[in-house]
Amino acid sequence: MKRYLNSQFRDMIVGVNTKVPLESGEYVTAINFDNAATTPPFCSVMKAIMEYAPWYASVHRGKGHKSVFSSELYEESRITIKKFVGADHTKEVVFTKNTTESINILAYLLQADSKEQVILSTDMEHLANDLPWRDNFTLDYVKIKEDGQLSLADLKEKLVKYQGRVKLVAVTGASNVTGYINPVYRIAELAHKYGAKILVDGAQLVPHAPFDMKSSKLPDHIDYLAFSGHKLYAPFGAGVLIGPQEDFAKGSPVYKGGGAVGLVSHDFVEWDNPPNRYEAGTPNMMGVVAMTAAIQTMNTINCSAIHDYEKKLIDYAIKGLRHIPDINLYCCSDGSEERVSLISFTVNGLYHSIVAAILAQEAGIAARSGLFCAHPYVEKLLKMTDKELAYYHQNVDVLVPGLVRISFGLYNTYDEINVLLELLTRVVKNKNYYNNKYKNEARNVGEEKTHFLWYC
């Protein structure tokens, strides 16, 4: 079974056999364990792009055959996406650049009388589901437990505390640091009980597991969902924000211009109906085609099959990492946690960026190191004190602690994981050697801190 899944899924991906250079000058087949950041494209996506390219034209702006065809394809894509995530007829799909833009648009939309409204984010969020809420709302954070998982008890306590003032609970579907899958339906039911709505940041969850927004009549339905094509095997910069039509009909758009309006004079502006009012300018048709093709491909595979296979991969990797001395896993207690296919770790005595450099230069393995744009979460997992954080903030030449992250896609294999485990076993036994060999990697990270490249 493993061999069948490996070969069938792997053949669907562009570039899996690409050779990359090592520090030694040798070339090896690249191993991509950085799928949580960006996935490579499906072959079907590139095929769809090439097939559509001769028909590419303006959307909603012409009567020519190509323009009409492009407009119809654009609207049909909304239907495909809604079906993919179980969004009912009350929901609308707004096309964006990515998850970050989607959440920023929602924050702008909800900001009317915002100082009286409370947004509950959490201690485990990506900055995209934290920073947009900071300026115009009363913002509070649901705590995490000792094992890094979200505290539902604290969520309930805060919902009670604010006595109906909570506008929204904004929570990640799956953490980009630990891989934990949050119980979003239990959270939704709690939020609705206290008069709040729920936003799920689906960037890490939707590409790796089945997701259902559910009927808006159910108490545990999801009000808003955001996710990105580039983590879904679809490049070209498209994302979505899905939410209630009635909510989208209330606000004025953050981006204002052609395509977002009905009639305009110097004296008035008549905003178009959603979703058009939130899609000013020429839309990213290539990105929409790519994302739709990726979703259609995932439907043929079956998202449950993807999740099951990737679970076997991450369980295999975690089991192997546990047997290597001096490796610390974040977070992984008894192995029963619901998670997507990623895990973060540290190696005692080796700076995180050095470990990532070793993986790349010695075996062609792409991994991620740093704080993964989820700074408060990683800071809490590493138990950084306020005093330490202030010190790092005030001293830009000091190296900040971080983690190393590996994240799998449906095309990764057990053999690739074995390469990782063998290399880390060798590295742990020869830390002094590798520290000296790659010491400049840590220095380079320090030099980049002032440009904010070192920790994202």
Alpha helices in 364-430 (DSSP H): 375-381, 386-394, 414-429
Contacts of 51 (CB under 8 A, 6+ apart): none
At 48, phi and psi to the nearest 5?
Answer: -65, -40
- Per DSSP, 13 falls in state B
Which residues, including other chains, have CB under 8 Å from residue 354's CB and lie 6 or more apart? Answer: 434, 435, 438, 439, 441, 442
Q: Which residue has the tokens 């220095």?
A: 443
Is residue 442 within 8 A of residue 351, CB to CB? The reply is: yes
Which residue has tokens 């890094």? 148
Query: How would you label 180-190 residue by residue, b for 16+ Cβ within 10 Å and e otherwise?
Result: bbbbbbebbeb
Q: Taking the alpha carbons of 107, 112, 115, 116 in that order, is the dihedral positive or negative?
A: negative
What are the E-state strand segments in 163-251?
166-172, 197-201, 224-228, 239-244
User: What span, in angstroms and rounded, lies between the C-alpha atoms of 363 and 27?
Assistant: 9
216: region left, alpha or beta (phi > 0 left; psi from -120 to 50 alpha): alpha
Q: Is the dihedral of CA 35, 36, 39, 42 positive or negative?
A: positive
373 is catalytic: yes
Q: Which tokens belong to 74?
A: 């654009």
Taking the C-alpha atoms of residue 109 and residue 100, their distance in angstroms, rounded to an integer, is 14
Length of the chain: 456
Beta strand extents in 314-377 (DSSP E only): 327-330, 342-347, 365-366, 368-370
CA–CA gap between residue 4 and residue 231 (Å, rounded): 24
DSSP string over 312-345: HHHHHHHHHHHTSTTEEEES-SSS-S-B-SEEEE
d(CA 322, CA 324): 6
CB atoms within 10 A of CB 108: 18
**290: number of Cβ within 10 Å:** 28
Q: Which listed residue (303, 331, 373, 456) is catalytic?
A: 373
Tokens of 414: 């057990």
Give the catalytic positions in this structure: 373
